[in-house]
């Protein structure tokens, strides 16, 4: 994750969580916070492969 | 320098004559200025080919992978650390090796000299302290310490960490060098600047994979970039695919890279590929107090678990 | 064939004029070395350069080249039909290419423009170009063109040869294409000292100290060289990167890939290299060139033996020296070529 951010991925776009199958509420919370933080960052415009340009 | 060379030859000759090794892996004089070629010597009468000077920047651990013979290998500080890593990763057996350790005073950055003097360079002689540069009709002398490879200028492990005998007296280790100056510079940038910095850094890459292949750590039978079922990454000149290759290559070296600089030295277009691995080296050092290849007695941090491993990145 | 003189003061103007009829490409310095680029308005080629780091073969055979597009969307009538990508075939003037690099296109052309098959992508690109060569007055120490069937003033493959003669260029027109370009640039004053070129040519050729011998390659038994004992030693240091082949103006191998995005895709052709294990990997998993030594041998056998035998027209190398300068471990084609040329199985005393 550090290297990803080092090469220019915005902090918050890549996140790691450890959720047991029993932790349903944690799962919901994590999905909410991740979605919110990624939405706040907006679409990923950098690390995103574009279709091949054809002359 | 020539002292090292004589000693290397002497040891090589002895080992080949008494049959304790099948081959000696070292360097022979190349056909261009500042180029020595890795070679193997099997017969005592070929020992005279061996050379040692400031142009032995290729990492010879790369030539040991999976070899079964009894081998004597010439090893600088960084090479010896990669040999340790090879032994830990079962890529070579300690008992098959006779390590001729070379206390190192840095390798010359040939790219810098070529960019200063052009492709018309005729000869570069090295007396250990100074380089005598010969171009058409004129000569110039440079202090070696001014033209070292950047990883060598900031190296704090010049002496081999594992060896059977030495080619010379141990050298004082450098103190007060900033190994992570470049990493720190990039770390201070904003995400956009960082992205742009690497975009620019990688723009000349031709995906020849010399950086990967020069590295002793990259020994996978099939590299992920070459896999086709499934295909992990596209094979064209697409900049995202190029970047994916680079950062994944670096990840695969995390906690294993010795900063030997072989990757950077090999790149035909002069890309500073250590910009990726140095960051991971810094992280490994700061998070796990780890430097690769310093000892045979400890497993690398990324293949062991310790209760105090930093884990606050997991939310 | 005529020789014109171009005052360097009029040079830039001529280049600008040529731009109205051609897309003009020339060497420009980027980062630390030169590369061929399309020149915009008022951009000039750097005619003081030595040579480009990588070869200009990419002008005709780009490292990544879209060949076809297709759609997988079955509601479209043209689904699963490959549609050829139209190349940009406007006339292009390549200014300042070195004679070896232009000659290299002719060697490659034997492959892409064979009697039986013609490669339309390669040919369209090649035919759209007018090559204005720049003779080498000061060859690099690693150039061995004169013994590789080429030379610092070599004309084959060029439409115009420029010779730098201090405050002016002498421009020798070699083809109709060349004449047309010189006319478009307005370079029309005839030189009265065209004879000078021959003397400069000889001076440049005499400066090339590096040589290879190729005279016995053809007569050699292929299997003898193939089985020669020196390959293990030659190949030892090789790391099987593709640097030598990617930088070489005469290496042409490619690989074809489809890249999809959703329902649409592009069929691409990318450079490939005989140095890569994947190059010969079969679908079964078997690899006929599974070991490094076999791949190194292939590169040299192809350039210096198979090509010689197949076309009977010299080696597949123009002596530009790039692979020698850029190989990270100093594998030197000059050395290998001489080894192959000199090899005599009868004289070989095997250590066993
Ligand atoms: S990544 Fe580069 S510096 Fe690190 S061990 Fe490999 S070759 Fe050496
Ligand atoms: S060696 Fe250089 S050009 Fe080749 S793949 Fe690595 S970074 Fe790219
Ligand atoms: S000969 Fe040199 S450049 Fe070519 S693949 Fe081998 S190491 Fe790379
Ligand atoms: S010298 Fe090397 S790079 Fe140049 S044409 Fe010959 S094989 Fe190719």
> Which residues are CB-neighbours of B18 under 8 A, at least 6 positions away?
none
How remote is the CA of residue B50 from the centroid of ligand 1, in Å?
Answer: 24
Report pLDDT digits (tens) over B131-162.
888 887 788 899 999 999 999 999 999 999 99
Residue C92 in any domain: the answer is: yes
Name the token pair of B261. Answer: 């600089």
Atom of ligand 2 nearest to the CA of B214: 1
Report pLDDT digits (tens) over C183-236.
999 999 999 999 999 999 999 999 999 999 999 999 999 999 999 999 999 999
Secondary structure in 3-state letters for C14-51? HHHHHCCCCEEEEEEEECCEEEEEECCCCCCCCCCCCC
> Which residues 8-47 in chain C show a CB within 8 A of chain B?
30-33
pLDDT at position C66 is: 95
Q: What distance lies between CA C32 and its chain's CA centroid? A: 21
Identify whether the C-beta of residue C97 lies closer than 8 Å to the C-beta of residue C142. Answer: no
Report pLDDT digits (tens) over C304-327.
999 999 999 999 999 999 999 999
Residue C320 in any domain: the answer is: no
B267 lines ligand 2 (CB under 6 A): yes
Residue A17 in any domain: the answer is: yes
Name the token pair of B296. Answer: 């045979």
Nearest bound ligand to the CA of residue B249 = 1
How remote is the CA of residue C199 from the centroid of ligand 2, in Å?
Answer: 42
Between strands C3-7 and B165-166, the pairing is unpaired
What confidence category does residue A1 fall into, taking pLDDT thresholds of 50, 70 and 90?
low
Atom of ligand 1 nearest to the CA of B218: 6
Residue C94 has pLDDT above 90, yes or no: yes
Start-end of CATH 3.40.50 domains in chain B: 1-106+153-177
Residue C139 in any domain: the answer is: yes
pLDDT at position C348 is: 61
Comparing alpha-carbon positions, the chain C residue that sits nearest to A53 is: C66
Residue C292 in any domain: the answer is: no
Third-level CATH fold of B1-106+153-177? Rossmann fold (3.40.50)
Residue C350 has pLDDT above 70, yes or no: no
Nearest bound ligand to the CA of residue C238 = 3
Instruction: Give the one of A1, A6, A48 whose C-beta lies nearest to B194's C-beta.
Output: A6
Which residue range forms the structural domain that includes residue C157? 3-54+88-206
Q: Whose CA is nearest to atom 1 of ligand 1?
A: B257
pLDDT at position B107 is: 95
What confidence category does residue C352 fall into, taking pLDDT thresholds of 50, 70 and 90?
very low
Q: Which residues of B touch C140 (CB under 8 A)?
A: 119-120
B277 lines ligand 1 (CB under 6 A): yes
How remote is the CA of residue C318 from the centroid of ligand 4, in Å?
Answer: 6
Residue C141 has pLDDT above 70, yes or no: yes
Mean pLDDT of chain A: 89
Residue A37 has pLDDT above 60, yes or no: yes
Give the sign of the dihedral formed by CA C187, CA C188, CA C193, CA C195: positive
Q: Which residues of B touch A30 (CB under 8 A)?
A: 315
Q: How far apart are CA C290 and CA C235, in angstroms?
A: 14
Residue C157 in any domain: the answer is: yes
CA distance A42 to chain B (A): 14
Please indicate if any CB of chain B lies within 8 Å of the CB of C345. no
Q: Which residues of A touch B187 (CB under 8 A)?
A: 6
Residue C287 in any domain: the answer is: no
pLDDT at position C11 is: 96
What confidence category does residue B1 fall into, taking pLDDT thresholds of 50, 70 and 90?
low
CA distance C199 to chain B (A): 21
Report pLDDT digits (tens) over B208-248.
999 999 999 999 988 999 888 788 999 999 999 999 999 99
Residue A15 in any domain: the answer is: yes
Identify whether the C-beta of residue B36 lies closer than 8 Å to the C-beta of residue B55. Answer: yes
Residue A42 has pLDDT above 50, yes or no: yes
Which residue range forms the structural domain that includes residue A19? 2-41
Instruction: Give the one of B39, B207, B210 whose C-beta lies nearest to C328's C-beta.
Output: B210
CA distance C87 to chain A (A): 7
Interface mutation target, options B180, B183, B193, B195, chain A, most CBs of A under 10 Å: B195
Q: What share of chain B is helix, strand, coil (3-state, %, to 5)?
A: 35, 15, 50
Atom of ligand 1 nearest to the CA of B216: 6
Comparing alpha-carbon positions, the chain A residue that sits nearest to B283 is: A2
Mean pLDDT of chain C: 95
Determine which helix (DSSP H) or strand (DSSP E) holds A28, and give its type and residue range.
helix A24-41
Q: What is the mean pLDDT of residues C76-97?
A: 94
Please indicate if any CB of chain A lies within 8 Å of the CB of B188. no
Percentage of chain C beyond pLDDT 90 is 91
pLDDT at position C283 is: 87
Residue whose CB lies within 8 A of the most ligand 2 atoms, among B202, B273, B277, for a mutation test: B273
Identify whether the C-beta of residue C268 lies closer than 8 Å to the C-beta of residue C65. Answer: yes
Q: How many Å is the maximal CA-CA distance in chain C? A: 70
C54 lines ligand 3 (CB under 6 A): no
Q: For residue C223, which of C317, C297, C333, C315 has the smallest C-alpha distance?
A: C297
Q: How far apart are CA B268 and CA B30, in angstroms?
A: 17
Please indicate if any CB of chain B lies within 8 Å of the CB of A53. no
Name the token pair of C281. Answer: 């990997």
How remote is the CA of residue C278 from the centroid of ligand 4, in Å?
Answer: 22
Residue C45 in any domain: the answer is: yes
Please list every protein residue whose CB sits less than 6 Å from any atom of ligand 4: C 247-250, 303, 317-323, 333
Q: Is B65 exposed, middle or buried (0-12, 13-18, 19+ CB in 10 A)?
A: middle
Residue A12 in any domain: the answer is: yes
Q: What is the mean pLDDT of residues B32-56?
A: 95
Identify whether the C-beta of residue B274 lies closer than 8 Å to the C-beta of residue B287. Answer: no
Residue B173 has pLDDT above 90, yes or no: yes
Q: Which residues of C touch A51 (CB under 8 A)?
A: 261, 264, 266
Q: How far apart are CA B228 and CA B43, in angstroms?
A: 42
Residue C347 has pLDDT above 80, yes or no: no
* Alpha carbon distances (Å) from C122 to C106, C213, C246, C257: 12, 31, 17, 17
Nearest bound ligand to the CA of residue C247 = 4
Between strands B97-101 and B165-166, the pairing is parallel
User: DSSP string of C57-81?
Assistant: GGGTS-SEEEEEEEE--TTSTTTT-
Q: Whose CA is nearest to atom 2 of ligand 1?
A: B263
Report pLDDT digits (tens) over C6-16.
999 999 999 99
More confident residue, A12 or C329: C329
Q: What is the mean pLDDT of residues B20-48?
A: 96
Q: Give the CB-side neighbour count of residue A38, counting CA atoms within 13 A.
A: 12
Residue B115 has pLDDT above 80, yes or no: yes
Residue A35 in any domain: the answer is: yes
Report pLDDT digits (tens) over C28-69.
999 888 999 999 999 999 999 999 999 999 999 999 999 999
Residue spans of alpha helices (H) in chain C: 8-18, 99-112, 120-127, 176-185, 196-206, 222-226, 230-236, 243-247, 292-301, 307-311, 322-326, 333-342
Residue A13 in any domain: the answer is: yes
Percentage of chain B beyond pLDDT 90 is 77
3-class DSSP state of C310: helix
If one counts the domains in chain C, the total is 1
Q: What is the mean pLDDT of residues C99-119?
A: 97
Residue C73 has pLDDT above 90, yes or no: yes
Name the token pair of A42. Answer: 């907006």
Identify whether the C-beta of residue B281 lies closer than 8 Å to the C-beta of residue B257. Answer: yes
Q: What is the mean pLDDT of residues B44-69?
A: 96
> Which residues are CB-neighbours of C139 under 8 A, at least 6 positions away?
C145, C152, C204, C207, C208
If one counts the domains in chain A, the total is 1
pTM of the model: 0.92
Q: How far apart are CA C317 and CA B112, in angstroms?
A: 28
Percentage of chain B beyond pLDDT 70 is 99
* Alpha carbon distances (Å) from C309 to B151, C216, C243, C330: 47, 12, 26, 27
Residue spans of alpha helices (H) in chain B: 2-17, 77-88, 110-117, 150-153, 181-187, 191-202, 210-213, 239-252, 262-266, 274-288
pLDDT at position B2 is: 66
């Amino acid at each position: 994750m550090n290297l990803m951010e080092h090469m220019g991925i915005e902090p918050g776009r890549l996140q790691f969580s450890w959720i047991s199958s029993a932790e349903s509420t944690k799962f919901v919370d994590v999905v909410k916070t991740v979605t919110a933080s990624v939405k706040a960052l907006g679409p990923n415009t950098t690390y995103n492969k574009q279709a091949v340009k054809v002359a | 320098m020539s002292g090292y060379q004589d000693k290397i030859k002497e040891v090589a000759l002895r080992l080949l004559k008494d049959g304790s090794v099948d081959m000696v892996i070292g360097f022979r004089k190349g056909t261009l200025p500042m180029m020595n070629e890795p070679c193997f010597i099997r017969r005592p009468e070929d020992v005279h080919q061996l050379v040692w000077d400031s142009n032995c920047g290729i990492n010879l651990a790369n030539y040991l992978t999976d070899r079964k013979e009894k081998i004597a290998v010439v090893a600088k500080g960084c090479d010896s650390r990669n040999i340790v890593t090879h032994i830990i990763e079962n890529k070579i057996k300690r008992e098959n090796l006779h390590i001729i350790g070379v206390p190192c005073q840095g390798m010359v950055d040939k790219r810098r000299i070529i960019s200063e003097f052009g492709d018309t360079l005729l000869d570069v002689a090295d007396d250990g302290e100074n380089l005598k540069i010969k171009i058409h009709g004129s000569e110039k002398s440079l202090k070696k310490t001014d033209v070292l490879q950047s990883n060598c200028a900031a190296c704090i492990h010049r002496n081999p960490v594992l060896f059977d005998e030495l080619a010379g007296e141990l050298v004082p280790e450098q103190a007060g060098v900033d190994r992570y100056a470049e990493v720190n510079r990039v770390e201070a940038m904003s995400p956009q600047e960082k992205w742009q910095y690497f975009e620019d850094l990688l723009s000349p890459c031709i995906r020849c994979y010399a950086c990967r292949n020069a590295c002793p750590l990259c020994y996978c039978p099939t590299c992920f970039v070459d896999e086709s079922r499934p295909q992990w990454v596209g094979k064209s000149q697409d900049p995202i695919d190029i970047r994916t290759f680079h950062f994944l290559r670096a990840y695969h070296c995390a906690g294993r890279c010795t900063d030997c600089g072989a990757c950077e030295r090999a790149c035909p277009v002069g890309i500073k590929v250590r910009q990726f691995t140095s960051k991971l080296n810094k992280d490994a050092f700061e998070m796990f107090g780890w430097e690769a290849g310093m000892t045979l007695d400890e497993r690398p941090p990324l293949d062991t678990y310790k209760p105090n491993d930093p884990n606050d990145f997991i939310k | 064939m005529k020789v014109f003189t171009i005052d360097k003061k009029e040079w830039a103007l001529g280049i600008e004029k040529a731009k109205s009829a051609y897309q003009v490409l020339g060497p420009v310095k980027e980062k630390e070395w030169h590369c061929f680029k399309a020149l915009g308005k008022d951009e000039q080629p750097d005619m003081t350069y030595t040579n480009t780091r990588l070869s200009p073969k990419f002008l005709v055979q780009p490292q990544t080249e879209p060949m076809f597009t297709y759609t997988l969307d079955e509601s479209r009538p043209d689904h699963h039909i490959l549609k050829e990508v139209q190349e940009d075939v406007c006339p292009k003037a390549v200014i300042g290419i070195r004679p070896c690099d232009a000659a290299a296109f002719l060697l490659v052309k034997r492959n892409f423009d064979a009697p039986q098959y013609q490669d339309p992508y390669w040919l369209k690109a090649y035919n759209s170009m007018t090559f204005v060569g720049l003779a080498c007055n000061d060859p690099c120490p690693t150039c061995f063109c004169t013994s590789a069937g080429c030379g610092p003033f070599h004309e084959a493959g060029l439409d115009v040869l420029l010779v730098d003669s201090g405050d002016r260029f002498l421009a020798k027109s070699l083809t109709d294409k060349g004449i047309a370009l010189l006319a478009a640039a307005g370079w029309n004053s005839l030189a009265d000292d065209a004879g000078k070129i021959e003397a400069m040519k000889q001076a440049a050729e005499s400066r090339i100290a590096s040589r290879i011998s190729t005279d016995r390659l053809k007569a050699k038994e292929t299997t003898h060289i193939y089985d020669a004992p020196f390959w293990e030693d030659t190949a030892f240091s090789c790391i099987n990167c593709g640097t030598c082949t990617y930088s070489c103006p005469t290496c042409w191998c490619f690989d074809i890939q489809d890249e999809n995005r959703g329902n649409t895709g592009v069929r691409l052709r990318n450079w490939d290299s005989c140095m890569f294990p994947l190059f010969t990997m079969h679908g079964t998993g078997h690899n006929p060139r599974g070991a490094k030594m076999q791949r190194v041998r292939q590169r040299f056998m192809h350039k210096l033996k198979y090509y010689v035998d197949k076309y009977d027209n010299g080696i597949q190398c123009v002596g530009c020296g790039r692979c020698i300068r850029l190989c990270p471990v100093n594998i030197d084609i000059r050395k290998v070529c001489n080894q192959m040329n000199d090899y005599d199985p009868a004289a070989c005393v095997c250590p066993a």
